[in-house]
Amino acid sequence: MNNTVLDAGIARHLAEAHLDASAVATLLKLTIAEDLADGVDVTSVATVPEQQLSVLDLVARQPGVTAGVWVAAAVFDLVTDHDATIEVHIEDGSDVNVGDVLISITGHTRDLLVGERTALNFFGHLSGVATATHAWAVQLEGTGARVRDTRKTMPFLRALEKYAVRCGGGVNHRMSLSDAALVKDNHIVAAGGVRQAFEAVRTTFPGIPVEVEVDTLDQLREVLDAGADLVLLDNFTCAQMRDAVAVNAGRATLEASGGLTLDNAAEVGRTGVDYIAVGALTHSAHVLDIGADLRAL
């Protein structure tokens, strides 16, 4: 693995997904290097002739929604030093069924086996996030509410995991601590009150979107009067959410958080809130089972 940049076509697909191709390549190279640990794949070197060529198919073992197909393709582009033929059979955000071939890679067998686990780790995890998000999106259909992610992401995987949320039909919250403010309970304590915290952020960073977490209807009224345009309703019951929607009267965007499950998602959506925040989309998503099948040329 000597190349430092991705194939232009793969890089273009990543860019179209609003992913930084260079950052993805760096992450993948670090992951592959971790797997090799400055050595070689001793099993493949011992059992596979150096010049042998094969095809590796990545195949869905269970139904779900895909995300990360071009990330997986990038793995094989890197491990083969651009010396592989990569056929992508589906697009991210696609519904797939058991037995569907998602990607086929033709190249030196040893290289394919080196890249196999890294590709599956990323592809399976991101597709699991997309599949989980899709389940929430389906529950919210017709309610007017959208499911939204949080910052509860794995280190260095945030951009990819939030991309997977989009593939599943969800909406992204802020990407970092710097692009939007979220005033939570600890900020409120430190600032001396919910209104004081909101006004401090608005004064210090006037161009930054500000969301304020509230626990009560009184706090909601306070931040609405202060001019908040995005409010997080923390651990409100559905009855309290309906009351909050009435108090809000369309002044701010409302987001529900806490105590949310797939079973009550539709009921929450019907209260009139705009978003529901679900950290489990990224921190608890099950990996979508995708396998790798080698076949001779």
Task: Please report the domains of the chain, with CATH numbers, ordered by start residue.
Answer: 8-135+286-296 (3.90.1170.20), 138-283 (3.20.20.70)
Cα within 13 Å of Cα(166), Cβ side: 15
Instruction: Kindly list the catalytic residues.
Output: 117, 152, 184, 213, 234
Note the pLDDT of residue 297: 86
- What whole-number percentage of the chain has pLDDT above 90? 96
Q: Which residue in 31, 258, 289 sits closest to 157, CA to CA?
A: 31
pLDDT higher than 80, residue 284: yes
Determine if the pTM surpasses 0.85.
yes
Please state, in angstroms and rounded to a whole number, the distance separating the CA atoms of residues 271 and 140.
Answer: 11
| Residue range 44-52: mean pLDDT, rounded | 96
Coil, strand or helix: which one is 2?
A: coil
25 pLDDT tier (thresholds 50, 70, 90): very high
Q: Which residues, 6 or more positions from 20, have their beta carbon under 8 angstroms from its beta carbon?
A: 14, 159
**Helix, strand counts (H, E) of the chain:** 12, 12
| Residue range 160-189: mean pLDDT, rounded | 95
Strand pairing partners for 253?
230
